[in-house]
Structure 1
Amino acid sequence: MNIAVVPAKNEQGRIGKVLDNLSDTAVDRIVVVLNGSRDGTLKEIKTQKLPKVEVLSFREPLGYDIPRAVGVYYALKKGAECVVFVDGDMTGNLLPAVNRLVDAVVSEKVDLAMTRIQPEMISENELARELYLFRRVLNERLGLYKKVGVAIPSHGPCAVSRRLMEKADIRDFAVPPVILAFAVKNDLRVEAPVEMHSRELGSKVRGFSHAKKIADTIIGDILEALAFFEGKPRKRILLQKEYQGYNPRRRFDLLERFIALYGRNFDFNPST
């Protein structure tokens, strides 16, 4: 079974198109992890009555990427062989990308299939240049740069195998670069079979403040991934600068509660 995990918070007016698009792909089930929404996102989902879609609803916001970890745990319980992550605001035509990612995992036995996102006007954007520099440093250290460029699982659709989901700490799916480092460290297969321009994702346009926090979140995640890969204590500080971004809002406590609740009803226990 192939499952799409779709994190969504306040995506009314967008979630319908995302789910419509995914319904035409090679996934068998679409799991929306709805967290902390205060608009009509859930109503929009219910109105569609799409047979592939089910919703895991949380009243409180789970925080950046925690819904991925929730989705992975749930998908494992459902017997998924492949999970593909698509954000709830990505309204672009992702059918070719999603199908290619799923095929890479299912048919080609790739454990982590990522998308190479081509940025828009990176030379004119200091924030984007800094982030891409860190991404390059990570992939060079992992020995991946010549093969996947600056692709990381934080940006764009990506897919993971059951083998990776079973081997990794479920909590680390909420820190995507750590999952990349884990895959390499454990000799799992990593590829980037899809290439897209960032505008093709159809993501919601947000302001500079959000972009800065996202960049700091991902850079901090990369620093954690590098420390993990080198067998050092994980940290988010470089040259006396701390990169937190949205990291403090990640509700690992709610993830643990979810795992405890569903762990009573299923045989699988996440490795730690």
Structure 2
Amino acid sequence: MPTNRSVAAIVSVMNEEATIVSVLEQLQRLPLNEIIVVVNGSRDRTLEKARQHSQAMIVYYPDPLGHDVGRAIGAKLSHSDILLFLDGDFAVRAEDLVPFIHAVDQGTDIALNNITPYLPSFSHWDSVTIMKRFLNLSLNRSDLHANSMTAVPHAMSRAVVEQIGYSELMVPPKAQVRAIMAGLRIAAPASVNVVSKNKMRKNNRGMDNPVARMIVGDHVEAVELAMQHTGNRLNFPDKVRKRQYTRREAACR
């Protein structure tokens, strides 16, 4: 492990009996201080398999919480200096997780997954990717491209979570806005292909599917939050209209 600081891996899972063991096996290859698995809404053997194959802290909720709420709960329960967030739908090699931990150890506040190499040309982007890119542009962070706290794996320091608030992790784009507005160091130091490996489910298939609508809605909330800080036009100033003249006209009347 490229750090002397304590590290926690937080995994939010629902109905992942086919993959949870391989996810935990990769995490157990790292000398982590904590592994926290938040099992929620599962109707299969995810909980049983997690118990059988790991000494992780396992938190169980019978109702579905959503991955983001699960991550927020895991972060709240952890005690480590560096928090690494994953999902349970496919295993990421331990070697591919190390760069995120290393980046935070070296001073990055939030280390995002750089999905840029796996995206198609812009004309084939979906609504979620467009919203991710728009939010970063709106906050003058074009360097982040379409990278977002919505995607895993990503890592951050505990100090960041305490600064922006654990509850903000429930809506990752809002957490990203708060982090950017606070001037925190955000980078995308490594790439894990979650685009092609994303498990297809009934609720994330096709155009305008429920998951896409939820994530787009998350970004609408984030844009609204950004507007409260930067103004209605965000990072897009109006350099054409001379609006002050109409205000003077109204004052003369």
Give TM-score, length-normalised by structure 1: 0.75
Matched, 1:62 2:65: yes
Counterpart secondary structure, 2:39 = strand
Residues paired across the two proteins, number: 221
Find the counterpart in structure 1 of residue 36 from structure 2.
Answer: 31
Q: Residues 204 and 212 of structure 2 are in contact (CA less than 8 Å); yes or no, is this contact kept in structure 1?
A: no
Q: 1:122 to 1:214 in 2, by over 3 A?
A: farther
Alpha-carbon shift at residue 110 of structure 1 (Å): 1.3
What residue is the counterpart of 1:16 in the other structure? 21
Match of 2:111 in 1: 113
| Cross-structure match for 2:200 | 205
Question: How far did residue 179 of structure 1 move?
Answer: 0.9
Q: CA deviation at 1:133?
A: 1.7
Give 1 or 2 for the bigger CA radius of gyration. Answer: 2
Q: Is the 8 A contact 1:115 1:157 kept in 2?
A: yes
Please name the residue that 2:242 is paired with. Answer: none
Separation (CA, whole Å) in 1 of partners of 2:93 and 2:223? 30
- The Cα of 1:196 is off from its aligned counterpart by 3.0
* Aligned mates of 1:193, 1:150 — CA distance in 2: 14
2:43 and 2:204 map into 1 onto residues whose CA distance is 21
2:191 pairs with 195, 204, 223, which one? 195
Residue 227 of structure 1: how far off its partner (Å): 1.4
1:99-130 deviation per Cα after TM superposition (whole angstroms, max 9, x unaligned): 11111112x121111001144656685xx432
* Equivalent position amino acid for 1:110 in 2: T
Q: Name the structure 2 match of 1:241.
A: none
Q: Is the 8 A contact 2:33 2:80 kept in 1?
A: no
1:229 to 1:58, Cα distance in 2 relative to 1, 3 A: same
* Alignment-derived partner of residue 43 in structure 1: 48
Deviation at 1:24, TM superposition (A): 1.3
Query: Displacement, 1:184?
Result: 0.8
| One-letter identity of the residue aligned with 1:169 | G
How big is the shift at 1:67?
0.3
Q: Give the superposition deviation at 1:175.
A: 0.4
| Residue of structure 1 in register with 2:228 after alignment | 231
Aligned to 1:80: 80
Distance 1:231 1:17 in 2: 43
Summarize the Cα distance change of 1:204–1:129 in structure 2 as closer, same or farther, 3 Å threshold.
Answer: closer
* TM-score normalised by the chain length of structure 2: 0.80
* Structure 2 runs not aligned, ≥5 long: 1-5, 230-253
User: SS of the residue aligned with 2:71?
Assistant: helix
SS in 2 for 1:4: strand
Q: Which amino acid aligns with 2:213?
A: D
* Aligned-partner residue type, residue 135 of structure 2: L
Does the Cα contact within 8 Å between 1:120 and 1:197 map onto a contact in 2? Answer: no
2:11 matched residue in structure 1: 6
Q: CA deviation at 1:151?
A: 0.3
Residue 135 in structure 1 maps to residue 132 in structure 2: yes
Structure 1 CA distance for aligned equivalents of residues 68 and 89 of structure 2? 14
Stretches (4+) displaced over 4 A: 120-125, 207-211
Report SS of the residue matched to 2:98: helix
Q: Does 1:153 align with 2:149?
A: yes
Change over 3 Å in CA distance of 1:10–1:138 after alignment to 2: same
| Structure 1: distance between partners of 2:136 and 2:119 | 21
Residues 40-94 of structure 1 show CA distances to partners (whole Å, capped at 9, x for unaligned) of: 111111221x34x12011122113411011011111xxx2111111001122x33
**What amino acid does structure 1 have at the position aligned with 2:32?**
V
**C-alpha RMSD of the superposition:** 2.1
Partners of 1:102 and 1:175 lie apart in 2 by: 22
Alignment of 1:162 with 2:167, yes or no, is: no
